[in-house]
């Protein structure tokens, strides 16, 4: 540790605020919702006229976009090598730019800033500030951070080890997305493109409910989790997106009402509308807030897989059902009346036989990805503190 040096982030990183003054016919607007966990998710162009006032900042490759609002929501990305001259970022996104490459490696810095430990600390500070939203600033929260840095070669090795795990995780996610696309294409071909009747969900579900409506007290240290619509991502329940913990008695009361179980289909119904997931475990330790609708398929008529893919096929229609001036919402009555494609029992069985192997492979990869992510999150602080020597780490 004698070769490690303490550095203040404000001495090696700047928050850049360069105003866009380009004259492109079309621009790409990047809001806080358009960056997530390392990715810029929006590339859609819009006419460069009468732009919303919050879009002002330019950025370039190797900048770090980092949301000032709710750091724990993982709204950050390292800008890849790309032409972003016509991209404009929201003023609520910090544009962080490395100023001294002789002291800290860019990828090491990015991994440090986006680590669970740092995000949790920033979130705590954000919630301690007065204001409409939990918010941080560069000068008050980022710049004062002090960290001990190993020599640059060691930083690069640590970044390479952690990046190799990230690459494996990303590759698994791409395979999962491909499997999902195959299954959705089959459903569309069989039950949407070909003629089939439609039937209200009330007629093919034995129960349509949602999560808890009343106020629930947190129980620190409990193993029972209260999730929300933000935990429904890419067709699965993802607890890594954060959760509340509740008392066992509260959990049991909720479970007696929802009867949540393997094979139920979940739909984001408040705020984040239309995200859909299939419960692929026994749901032994989690329940949901009101923002999630819970649909139980009538197994004599349709399977869980069929209901999941039917809702995905009609996702745009489902989103259009939402209403509400302040916050978009799909009520339980809306779900009961919502109609999905309905094929013959024989055709549904054939669909299940074809799609279930794809789903099993997908969920196997999801579990593997969760294990890799857990390994990465466990290694990161130990490598960056020197507790584990990076020279002794091998990633197969």
Predicted confidence at residue 133, as pLDDT, reads 78
CATH 1.10.630.10 is right for the domain spanning 197-342: no
Place domain 5-149 in its CATH homologous superfamily: DNA methylase specificity domains (3.90.220.20)
Widest CA span in the chain: 73
Predicted confidence at residue 238, as pLDDT, reads 86
Fold: same for 5-149 and 197-342? yes
- Cα–Cα distance between 379 and 157 in angstroms, integer? 13
Strands 55-57 and 146-149: unpaired
Predicted model pTM:
0.81
Predicted confidence at residue 233, as pLDDT, reads 85
In CATH, the number for domain 153-190+344-396 is 1.10.287
Predicted confidence at residue 13, as pLDDT, reads 97
pLDDT in tens, the chain (396 residues): 558 999 999 999 999 999 999 999 999 999 998 998 899 988 899 999 888 889 999 999 999 999 999 898 889 999 999 999 999 999 999 999 999 999 999 999 999 999 989 999 999 999 888 777 789 999 999 999 999 999 999 999 999 999 999 999 999 999 999 999 999 999 999 999 876 789 999 999 999 999 988 888 889 889 999 999 988 988 889 887 678 999 999 999 999 999 999 999 999 999 878 899 999 988 999 999 999 999 999 999 999 999 999 999 999 999 999 988 778 899 999 999 999 999 899 999 999 999 999 999 999 999 999 899 999 999 999 999 999 999 888 766
Predicted confidence at residue 137, as pLDDT, reads 95
Predicted confidence at residue 168, as pLDDT, reads 94
Taking a C-beta distance cutoff of 8 angstroms, is the pair 66, 94 a contact?
yes
Distances in Å between the Cα of 204 and the Cα atoms of 38, 268, 288, 334 are: 39, 19, 22, 15
The alpha carbon of residue 263 and the mean position of all alpha carbons in its chain are separated, in whole angstroms, by 22
Predicted confidence at residue 194, as pLDDT, reads 77
Domains in the chain: boundaries:
5-149, 153-190+344-396, 197-342
């Amino acid at each position: 540790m004698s070769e490690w040096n303490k550095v203040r982030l404000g001495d090696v990183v700047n928050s850049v605020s360069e105003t866009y003054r380009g004259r492109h016919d079309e621009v790409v607007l990047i809001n806080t919702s358009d960056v997530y966990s390392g990715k810029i998710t929006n590339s859609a162009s819009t006419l460069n006229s009468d732009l919303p006032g919050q879009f002002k900042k330019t950025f370039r490759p190797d900048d770090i976009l980092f949301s000032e609002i709710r750091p724990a929501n993982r709204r950050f990305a390292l800008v890849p090598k790309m032409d972003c001259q016509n991209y404009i970022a929201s003023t609520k996104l910090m544009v962080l730019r490395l100023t001294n490459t002789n002291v800290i490696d860019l990828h090491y810095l990015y991994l440090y800033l986006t680590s669970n430990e740092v995000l949790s600390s920033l979130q705590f500070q954000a919630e301690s500030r007065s204001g409409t939203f939990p918010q941080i600033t560069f000068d008050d929260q980022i710049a004062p951070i002090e960290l001990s840095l190993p020599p640059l070669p060691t930083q690069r090795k640590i970044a390479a080890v952690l990046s190799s795990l990230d690459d494996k995780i990303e590759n698994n996610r791409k395979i999962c997305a491909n499997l999902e696309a195959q299954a959705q294409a089959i459903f569309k071909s069989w039950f949407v493109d070909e003629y089939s009747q439609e039937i209200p969900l009330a007629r093919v579900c034995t129960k349509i409910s949602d999560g808890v409506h009343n106020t629930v007290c947190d129980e620190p240290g409990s193993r029972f989790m209260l999730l929300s619509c933000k935990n429904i991502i890419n067709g699965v329940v993802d607890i890594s997106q954060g959760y509340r913990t509740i008392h066992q008695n509260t959990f049991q009361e909720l479970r007696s009402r929802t009867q949540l179980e393997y094979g139920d289909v979940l739909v984001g119904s408040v705020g984040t509308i239309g995200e859909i997931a299939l419960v692929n475990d026994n749901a032994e330790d989690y329940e949901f807030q009101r923002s999630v609708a819970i649909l139980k398929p009538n197994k004599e008529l349709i399977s869980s897989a069929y209901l999941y893919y039917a809702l995905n096929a009609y996702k745009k229609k489902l989103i259009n059902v939402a209403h509400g001036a302040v916050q978009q919402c799909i009520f339980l009555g809306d779900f009961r009346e919502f109609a999905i494609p309905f094929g013959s029992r024989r055709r549904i069985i054939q669909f299940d036989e074809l799609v279930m192997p794809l789903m099993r492979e997908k969920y196997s990869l999801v579990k593997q990805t969760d294990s890799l992510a857990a390994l990465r999150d466990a290694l990161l602080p130990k490598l960056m503190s020197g507790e584990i020597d990076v020279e002794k780490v091998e990633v197969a």
